[in-house]
Structure 1
Amino acid sequence: MEIARLVEGLHERTAGLAEAVAGADPTMLVPTCPEWPLRVLVGHIGQAHRWAASIVRSGPTPVPDPFDADPGSPADWPDWLRSGAEDLADAVLAAGEGPVWTFFGPAPATFWLRRMLHDTTVHHADAALATGTAFEVAPDLAADAITEWLELVSDPIATTIKPAFAELRGTGQTLRLHPDTGAGWLITRTPDGLRWAHAADAADATLAGPVRDLLLVLTRRLPAGRVTITGDRDLVDHWLTHTAA
């Protein structure tokens, strides 16, 4: 995805989050982020954007605690969120092609732009589900969020960050994600870890539906029943259990 689209998407999803929380009770609990009040969810996003910007500019710093974030008065949340997104976009654009630190080794600064875009997308869904507001995401952004997630979870380093991912190894079992547009993704569980490709091959289990719903099911923001599941349901349930955040 071109950097201009990533920047546009970050601003779009950040604005969507701000709209979803406008006028809501900041102490409201977010059902899909247990123990997080809405204020912490908002704080996490603005904090994460600024944290990622600081990594791009200056190198790694400890992962901040969302409960330490101070987004200010709810009336100020839109400007505070927008400022954080602008700070990250500016840092990435200024960094050019040079590598920066990531959990997975050196990578272009766009890693953090993409990572924060998709994190913001999923947390916009959290906010919308909590406040009863609409959630939509452009199909290209939803599809790239799924692709990025598969890139992360299949990286050999992923099991050192989240040991539960090691349980996703297998003996050739396959899982297909079939969106309403495009071929989708084919995931293969091997003894050495996950492999995936853009493909429309038959699989042991298939999840089919709108790409937005596939993203929200994969990130456990919607129940699996929101998409059509065929084949080995135990395989699907095992995947969802062991990729939980």
Structure 2
Amino acid sequence: MDIARLAEGLHHHTAALARTVAGADPDAPVPTCPDWPLRVLVGHVGQAHRWSAGNVRTGPTPVPDPLDADPGTPDKWSDWLLQGAEDLTDAVRASGDTPVWTFFGPQPATFWLRRMLHDTTIHHADAAIATNAAFAVEPDLAADAVSEWLEVLSDPVTASFRPGFAELCGTGQTLQLKPDDGEGWLVTRAPDRVRWTRATADADVTLAGPLQDLLLVFTRRLPLDRVSVGGDRALAEHWLAHTAA
């Protein structure tokens, strides 16, 4: 996915998030982020965009605490969110081909644009759930979000800062995501790490349904019963129980 599409997606979902929270109670709970009210959700998104832009421009700094973010009064949220997305996009475009710091070693700056696009998309869904608003994500972005999340989960570095993810390793058990349209994902719980590929094949458990629903179930935003579960349901439940971000 090229930089133009990543930037387009980031700005789209940032603006959609801003519209979703406009006029809502800042202290309203966010069921899918149970420790956060809406003001913290908004603060985290804008804070993460700015932090990512800093990683691109000057290198790593400590991961900020969402509770420390200050998005301003609710009437300022939209501008503040959009400015953060623009700041990140500008930083990535200015970086050219220079590798930048990431959790997983030096990578192109588009790493942060992609990471923040998908983080923002899921938090847009959080806001929609909290406010009973509509949510939609285009198929290409939804598919890339699933792949990107699997890339994160399958990298051995991830367990070093989220030890619970190490529980995803196994003895060869397989889990398949099978969208109604398009190619699916086959995940293998190997002893040393999670491995995955784009494929449709027999698996110990298969989650099937609309791509958007699969994404939101896989990222723990919708309950497992939102999709069809075939095979070892306990395996799917174990996976989801150990992928809390």
> Matches of 2:181 and 2:89 in 1, distance apart?
29
2:209 aligned partner? 209
- Alignment match, 2:197: 197
The residue type equivalent to 2:229 in the other structure is: I
Aligned to 2:234: 234
Instruction: Report deviation, 1:197.
Output: 0.2
| DSSP 3-state at the match of 1:222 | coil
Deviation at 1:73, TM superposition (A): 1.3
Q: Distance in 2 between matches of 1:229 and 1:57?
A: 44
Structure 2: tracts of 5 or more residues without a match: none
Q: Give the drift of 1:160.
A: 0.6
Please state whether the residue corresponding to 1:170 is helix, strand or coil: coil
CA distance in 2, matches of 1:35, 1:162: 18
Distance apart, 1:170 and its partner CA = 1.2
**Deviation string, structure 1 residues 165-188 (Cα, Å, up to 9, x no partner):** 111111111100001121210001
Aligned to 2:168: 168
**SS of residue in 1 equivalent to 2:35:** coil
Q: Provide the identity percentage.
A: 70
The normalised TM-score by structure 1 is 0.99
Distance in 2, Cα, partners of 1:38 & 1:150? 27
Structure 2 equivalent of residue 157 of structure 1: 157
Residue in structure 1 matched with residue 183 of structure 2 by the alignment: 183
Q: Distance in 1 between matches of 2:238 and 2:35?
A: 25
How far is the alpha carbon of 1:192 from its aligned partner?
A: 1.2
SS at match of 2:30: coil
The 3-state SS of whatever aligns with 2:200 is coil
Q: How does 1:37-116 map to 2 (within 5 A)?
A: 37-116=37-116
Distance 1:141 1:70 in 2: 29
Deviations 1:42-67 (A, max 9, x none): 01100110000011000001111111
Separation in 1 of the partners of 2:189 and 2:29? Answer: 36
SS of equivalent residue, structure 1 residue 12: helix
SS of 1:20's partner is: helix
Q: Deviations along 1:97-126, whole A, 9 cap, x unmatched? A: 111111111111000000000000000001
Deviation at 1:190, TM superposition (A): 0.9
Partner of 2:136: 136
Q: Residue type of the partner of 1:195?
A: R
Aligned residues: 245
SS in 1 for 2:102: coil
Structure 2 distance, partners of 1:242, 1:119, is 18
SS in 1 for 2:26: coil
**Secondary structure at the counterpart of residue 239 of structure 1:** helix
Structure 1 unaligned runs (5+)?
A: none
Paired residue for 2:4?
A: 4
Instruction: Give the SS at the match of 1:100.
Output: coil
Distance in 2, matches of 1:183 and 1:71, equals 39
Which SS does the other structure have where 1:61 is aligned? coil
2:10 partner SS: helix
Whole-Å separation in 1 of the counterparts to 2:237 and 2:6: 32
Q: Distance in 2 between matches of 1:158 and 1:64?
A: 18
Letter in 1 for 2:82: R
Distance 1:29 1:152 in 2: 28
Amino acid at match of 2:31: P
